[in-house]
Structure 1
């Protein structure tokens, strides 16, 4: 298939970037090492178990977002370090620092968060990173014993967890409001999602993540007339 794609691309003046082309196999594929040698124009395509595709860490062996969250936090610190001349300068007004943070740091960390399936532990890591950024912007440390609520009121930076939740709802609504789905059905699904999210935050432990199977089960019961499950 790759050879055919390369051949068709060359006909229209395009060429594959073989250095960035990788092959990933799921656990259902069982082939020998000799058979894994996939070549295009005498170049061997590397077989990997994870890959950065369109800015997202993808792995067929592990569905957890732990590696992606670590990577996003690292990128957030790198972006924060590049703008440290602004954030650490006490002569710059806080409103300017907030604008730079909301427009540069937050999008870097939350890129692709619409599809993240996060645990409470991962959410805590993201919030801890943002709190550390706020303290650096204000020029305070943990030893100053300033409550996080007071720091949040001073910086007025958007909470990263609220940004992620808003992105999820915005993405879900854009997917549901297509012409093929009746408006009544869209509102019903949104109502169910709101109930599922509320129950999830009230009942789930810190090690569990929200699963789409929970929503599918509730929708099936709803369709079967079992309204009492809501």
Structure 2
């Protein structure tokens, strides 16, 4: 039986390989948690920001970034907006206060969530690169479809995303493959 999508280990897998619906589901789950905590927890002045940040780091952030290793981030702004909504609520700041995101993150000592997802992707790249060639995961990653490409601009692949991440960090694909062979050096 062929299906268009299914859940595997908590991640929504689609036939087209598109992760957009999975990212939207993560955002939806994070929004549900935000609304639950917003009414009962985040608005309480008796609870310290340290405690609120502990909840952010141990509950909220993992819900938002679960499975991020495989995402092809075409719409980073939705994820950043969801993160900032929670962080601003911790500080009691609204968007009307016109406080920049960098200042909010600096005050709470938090790295941008997109940077965290990119780190997850680089870690997964290292795992893939060190795998034996006979493992199915590595074979799928290294396979190239032989079908004709459709009209229009090609969809951005996970490898394209990874190339952009590596470029932004001042390295190339070849250097990254070489460095990732050594697990300690890759960390």
Kindly indicate whether the alpha-carbon contact (under 8 Å) linking 2:30 and 2:60 is maintained by their aligned counterparts in 1. Answer: yes
Q: Tell me, yes or no, if structure 1 residue 124 matches structure 2 residue 71.
A: no
**Whole-angstrom distance in 2 between the partners of 1:157 and 1:105:** 13
Unpaired runs of 5+ residues, structure 2, are 134-153, 164-172, 175-187
Structure 1 partner of 2:67: 112
For residue 52 of structure 1, report the CA deviation from its aligned partner.
2.5
Kindly indicate whether the alpha-carbon contact (under 8 Å) linking 1:117 and 1:209 is maintained by their aligned counterparts in 2. Answer: yes
Kindly indicate whether the alpha-carbon contact (under 8 Å) linking 2:72 and 2:158 is maintained by their aligned counterparts in 1. Answer: yes
Q: Tell me, yes or no, if structure 1 residue 69 matches structure 2 residue 16.
A: no
Q: How many residues align?
A: 143
Structure 1 partner of 2:37: 83
Q: Deviations over 1:36-65 (max 9, x none)?
A: xxxxxxxxxxxx4222232111221x3222
For residue 148 of structure 1, report the CA deviation from its aligned partner.
1.6
Q: Deviations over 1:158-185 (max 9, x none)?
A: 321111111111122223335x58xxxx
- TM-score with structure 1 setting the length: 0.55
Which structure is higher in strand share? Answer: 1
**Whole-angstrom distance in 1 between the partners of 2:68 and 2:17:** 15
Structure 1 residues 39-188: aligned runs within 5 Å = 48-60=3-15, 62-84=16-38, 85-119=40-74, 122-178=75-131
For residue 211 of structure 1, report the CA deviation from its aligned partner.
4.5
Question: Which secondary structure does the structure 2 equivalent of 1:63 belong to?
Answer: coil
**Whole-angstrom distance in 1 between the partners of 2:91 and 2:156:** 34
Which structure is higher in helix share? Answer: 2
**Whole-angstrom distance in 2 between the partners of 1:175 and 1:211:** 13
For residue 127 of structure 1, report the CA deviation from its aligned partner.
0.5
Unpaired runs of 5+ residues, structure 1, are 1-22, 26-47, 182-206, 220-230
- Higher RCO structure, 1 or 2 (CA under 8 Å, sep 6+): 2
Kindly indicate whether the alpha-carbon contact (under 8 Å) linking 1:72 and 1:108 is maintained by their aligned counterparts in 2. Answer: yes
